[in-house]
């Protein structure tokens, strides 16, 4: 189900829960796959960059788990087991699949994660969980950064010209712009999503904004801005409770 301006509260809540359950399991598989991916690399910069992407996915899983808990929904055991098996398998295949195939596969998968979190943000608004929006938009932007990183790696490789790339997502800024348009169509007016991105700049073609060097600084900055980043947007039916939790689950 895709978000629409006619969607009702209960339908949106069910759709939100379904997306989050899928994302929770998917982030598990992704983190496991990236663990094998960075261990298969030889370039120190790429090792640090893909390792940081793994940590981003672990953080996303922890935040999604908190959202599911507030909704009173448990993760899907079948999906969790499936993603455990898939992630573990990919992790080992990365060690024998060379450099290009894991990079290509990762970028293709990340392209779908962007829309997943964008849709979740829209369902959150309609279902009365507007305080989820800053984190969901933020995670969509991080997934965009991941896709951009892997795309740049594939395009810079000699094999990149021989394969058909997956469709490129719209520019990063359209994540917030399209969400703003959705709010306007729903009659909420123009609202600013107060969710600063993890990094201070867009990713460069040669690397994901120096992930290894700035990783600890970024985590410290997230802690300092947590209360502002997760401040709820004042939509109708939106809870104003703070959800500043950073536990790993």
Taken in order of first residue, the domains within the chain and their CATH numbers are 10-229 (1.20.1260)
- Average pLDDT of the chain, as a whole number: 77
Whole-number pLDDT of residue 190: 57
Confidence of residue 244 (pLDDT cuts 50, 70, 90): very low
Whole-number pLDDT of residue 150: 93
> Each residue of 151-201: pLDDT tens digit?
999 988 878 777 888 888 999 999 999 998 888 877 776 555 554 333 333
Report the pLDDT averaged over residues 137-162.
Answer: 89
DSSP annotation string for the chain: ----TT--HHHHHHHHHHHHHHHHHHHHHHHHHHHHHHHH---HHHHHHHHHHHHHHHHHHHHHHHHHHHHT----HHHHHHHHHHHHHHHHHHTTSTTHHHHHHHHHHHHHHHHHHHHHHHHHHHTT-GGGHHHHHHHHHHHHHHHHHHHHHHHTSGGGGGSPPPPPPPPTTHHHHHHHHHHHHHT----------SSSSPPBTTBSSSHHHHHHHHHHHHHHTHHHHTPPP--TT------------
In the chain, pLDDT over 70 holds for what percent of residues?
Answer: 72
Report the pLDDT averaged over residues 89-105.
Answer: 90
Tell me which of 48 and 107 has the higher pLDDT. 48
By mean pLDDT, which of 23-27, 29-33, 206-210 is the weakest?
Answer: 206-210
Confidence of residue 245 (pLDDT cuts 50, 70, 90): very low
Task: Give the dihedral sign, CA 27/70/139/182.
Answer: positive
Whole-number pLDDT of residue 189: 60
> Each residue of 107-120: pLDDT tens digit?
888 888 899 999 99
């Amino acid at each position: 189900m895709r978000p629409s301006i006619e969607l009702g509260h209960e339908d949106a809540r069910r759709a939100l829960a379904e997306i989050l359950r899928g994302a929770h399991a998917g982030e598990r598989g992704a983190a496991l796959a990236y663990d094998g991916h960075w261990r298969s690399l030889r370039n120190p910069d790429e090792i640090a960059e893909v390792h940081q992407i793994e940590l981003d996915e672990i953080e996303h899983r922890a935040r999604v788990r908190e959202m599911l808990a507030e909704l009173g929904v448990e993760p899907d055991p079948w999906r969790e087991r499936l993603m455990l098996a898939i992630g573990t398998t990919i992790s080992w295949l990365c060690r024998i699949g060379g450099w290009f195939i894991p990079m290509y596969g990762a970028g293709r998968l990340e392209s779908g994660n962007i829309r997943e979190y964008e849709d979740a943000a829209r369902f959150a608004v309609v279902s009365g969980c507007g305080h989820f929006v800053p984190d969901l938009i933020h995670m969509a932007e991080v997934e965009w950064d991941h896709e951009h990183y892997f795309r740049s790696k594939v395009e810079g490789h000699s094999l990149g010209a021989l394969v058909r790339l997956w469709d490129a997502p719209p520019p990063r800024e359209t994540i917030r712009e399209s969400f703003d348009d959705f709010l306007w169509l729903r009659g909420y007016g123009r609202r600013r999503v107060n969710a600063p991105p993890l990094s201070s700049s867009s990713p460069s073609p040669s690397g994901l904004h120096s992930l290894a060097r700035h990783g600890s600084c970024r985590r410290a900055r997230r802690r300092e801005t947590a209360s502002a980043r997760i401040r709820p947007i004042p939509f109708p039916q939106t809870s104003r409770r703070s959800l500043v939790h950073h536990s790993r689950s």
